[in-house]
């Protein structure tokens, strides 16, 4: 027989902003009675449930604020794929110790091997540990910065990119960058260098970035800083994307 929660208790929980406890409280009360659980253990159990729920909600909110794809979490990675990379290094990166050192991460490899997936997974790990993060395709971020010059919000937009604990730039140097974009890339790298961490994905090696940037001096300065402050994870193998292709359901 399900436990009945009194209206008085419901009202008290709502006043304390603990009403989500009501979702699991009946089954917890039943469990406590069955196991003759001491009051202290029962109180610890229901508050542990609520703490875990709030952690999940907070983590999801930080992930959405960071513009992270909610489907690209580490537990969604298909280990049967033919993509290969240094697993020992990857395990180390997942500890986020690189953030404690204000180091960065370069995830390199051909199209479709899962660079964005792994970069986003690091973002989710960071938000679960209460870090702020921001994900964006590099070309779109630079377009927003360029547009912000026109409406006078450039300083605000740049600060947003500099103040997050973990900035994730996807598809860096996938296409040519003009002088303004090169300057903005330089500003981001220099301001975050040895202060806060970045994760950058690219299908080009850093030395190849120089050829697609308009200002050789700024490009060299930015790339040198990245190359000397980042862990490098190289992915090799077949495209991961065919595994994500929708399948026809058999009737």
10 Å Cβ neighbour count for 142?
A: 21
Tell me the C-alpha distance between 238 and 83, whole Å. Answer: 6
What are the boundaries of each domain within the chain? 7-65, 74-242
Q: Are 211 and 242 in contact (CB under 8 A)?
A: no
Residue 240: the pLDDT is 59
- Please state the separation of Cα 169 from the chain's center in Å: 11
Q: Is the whole model's pTM more than 0.95, yes or no? A: no
Residue 150: the pLDDT is 92
Tell me the C-alpha distance between 136 and 104, whole Å. Answer: 16
**pLDDT tens digits for the chain (251 residues)?**
556 788 888 888 888 788 888 888 888 888 888 888 888 888 888 888 877 777 777 778 888 888 999 899 888 888 777 899 999 999 999 999 999 999 999 999 999 899 999 999 999 999 999 999 999 999 999 999 999 999 999 999 999 999 999 999 999 999 999 999 999 999 999 999 999 999 999 999 999 999 999 999 999 999 999 999 999 999 998 775 555 555 665 65
User: Which CATH code for domain 74-242?
Assistant: 3.40.50.300
Tell me the C-alpha distance between 13 and 11, whole Å. Answer: 5
Q: Is 101 helix (H, G, I), strand (E, B) or coil?
A: coil
Residue 82: the pLDDT is 84
The predicted-structure confidence for 202-239, as pLDDT tens digits, reads as follows 999 999 999 999 999 999 999 999 999 999 999 998 77
User: With pLDDT > 90 as the criterion, what percentage of the chain qualifies?
Assistant: 62
Tell me the C-alpha distance between 56 and 100, whole Å. Answer: 23
């Amino acid at each position: 027989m399900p436990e009945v929660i009194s209206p008085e208790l419901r009202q008290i929980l709502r006043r304390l902003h603990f009403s989500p406890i009501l979702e699991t409280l009946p089954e917890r009360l039943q469990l406590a009675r069955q196991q003759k659980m001491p009051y202290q253990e029962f109180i610890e159990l229901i508050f542990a449930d609520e703490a875990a729920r709030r952690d999940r909600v907070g983590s999801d909110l930080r992930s959405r604020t960071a513009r992270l794809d909610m489907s690209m979490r580490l537990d969604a990675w298909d280990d049967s794929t033919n993509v290969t990379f240094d697993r020992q290094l990857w395990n180390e990166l997942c500890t986020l110790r690189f953030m404690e050192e204000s180091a960065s991460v370069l995830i390199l490899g051909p199209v479709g091997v899962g660079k964005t997936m792994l970069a986003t997974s690091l973002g989710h790990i960071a938000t679960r540990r209460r870090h702020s993060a921001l994900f964006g395709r590099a070309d779109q971020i630079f377009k927003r910065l360029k547009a912000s010059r026109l409406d006078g919000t450039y300083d605000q937009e740049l600060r947003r990119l500099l103040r997050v604990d973990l900035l994730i730039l996807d598809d860096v140097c996938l296409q040519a960058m003009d002088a303004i974009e090169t300057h903005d890339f330089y500003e981001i790298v220099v301001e975050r260098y040895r202060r806060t961490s970045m994760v950058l994905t690219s299908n080009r090696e850093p030395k190849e970035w120089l050829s697609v940037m308009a200002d050789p001096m700024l490009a060299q300065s930015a790339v040198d800083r990245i190359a000397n402050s980042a862990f490098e994870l190289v992915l090799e193998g077949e495209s991961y994307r065919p595994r994500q292709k929708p399948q026809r359901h058999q009737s």
